[in-house]
Amino acid sequence: MNHIDEVLLEQIANMHGTPEGAYNIRKDSTLAARANTENIKIETKQDKSGIDVYIRPGTKYEVVHIPVIITQSGIEELVYNDFFIGEDCDVAIIAGCGIHNDGHNRSQHDGVHTFHVGKNSRVRYSEKHYGQGDGDGEKIMNPQTILYLDEGSSVQLDTVQIRGVDSTKRYTKVVVGKNAEAILTERLLTHGAQTAVSEMDVLLDGEGASSRIISRSVAQDQSEQTFYPRMIGNAPSFGHVQCDSILMGSARIRSIPAITANHTEAQLVHEAAIGRIAGDQITKLMTLGLTSEEAEERILSGFLK
């Protein structure tokens, strides 16, 4: 790993050197490193690009790292990763994609991640996206995340776009079974002329199913964002959608939450708010010795945390 690789891996997966436990590091469309454990096996797909991750039933407190980095301008890839989590597990999966583009050609990573979560299992999945480089070639990421939650299981999904991604189209689908829970948190920052579209479909299919969608975004300069979360209650269930955005410069944001109840005992709520940073917040921090720019950065950092 060179310095650029290390910077990307630190940004997207908080990795410093070789991680403990199971991991699969993909660099420039090839396998860079892999390790399995007794309970977690990672295998290369034979029919298309990607991996299969198998987590043995009863696996507790293990972590899987599956970061992707692109450092060569002009690489465009589509990767399929499937996760099979057995019953009664408690695991964390840390993904993410970082692109360094110093060239003139487009670099693009499209990933489809599908999760099958067994009964009474708990999964924490985090995915960060980050772009850097001095070239004028675009840095594009289009992730798809599909989750199937069996009875009594829970998933906490945390997706973050840090900086430097010129265009992203994100799609998330979650099917929540009986007494299962899905908490989806998305944090997104766009700047310059970047564009971002995020769509979500959450289907509350089982009795006692519940879900929360929490979106926080900041659009700066001339960037544009569209957020379209859809919550559908097909059983006695509970769902809550919350979208909060900060608008800066001449940026534009569209937030279109939709809730659909197909059962009389489906309880669904949505909230959406778009606004600018309040001037009194800036002023208060400046009285503590911060410059206007420092105060603004402190507020944004806290909002997206």
Instruction: Please give the Cα distance from 58 to 102 (Å, whole number).
Output: 45
Provide DSSP, 221-281.
TT-EEEEEEEEEE-SSEEEEEEEEEEE-TT-EEEE--EEEE-STTEEEEEEEEEE---HHH
On whether the CB atoms of residues 86 and 59 are closer than 8 A, the answer is yes
Instruction: Please give the Cα distance from 285 to 7 (Å, whole number).
Output: 31
Per-residue DSSP letter, 304: H
- pLDDT, tens only, 80-136: 999 999 999 999 999 999 999 999 999 999 999 999 999 999 999 999 999 999 999
Quote the percentage of the chain above a pLDDT of 70: 98
pTM, two decimal places: 0.93
Q: For residue 55, which of 22, 94, 81 has the smallest C-alpha distance?
A: 22
Instruction: Please give the Cα distance from 203 to 209 (Å, whole number).
Output: 9
Q: For residue 8, which of 161, 129, 160 has the smallest C-alpha distance?
A: 129
Instruction: Please give the Cα distance from 152 to 29 (Å, whole number).
Output: 37
Q: For residue 221, which of 179, 252, 187 has the smallest C-alpha distance?
A: 252
- pLDDT, tens only, 5-29: 999 999 999 999 889 999 999 999 9
On whether the CB atoms of residues 163 and 196 are closer than 8 A, the answer is no
- pLDDT, tens only, 43-82: 999 999 999 999 999 999 999 999 999 999 999 999 999 9
On whether the CB atoms of residues 185 and 159 are closer than 8 A, the answer is yes
Q: Distance of alpha carbon 106 from its chain centroid, rounded?
A: 22
On whether the CB atoms of residues 184 and 152 are closer than 8 A, the answer is no
For tokens 């924490």, what's the residue? 124
301: left (phi over 0), alpha (psi -120 to 50) or beta: alpha
Rg of the chain taking only CA atoms, in angstroms: 20
Instruction: Please give the Cα distance from 117 to 290 (Å, whole number).
Output: 47
What is the model's pLDDT at position 289?
76
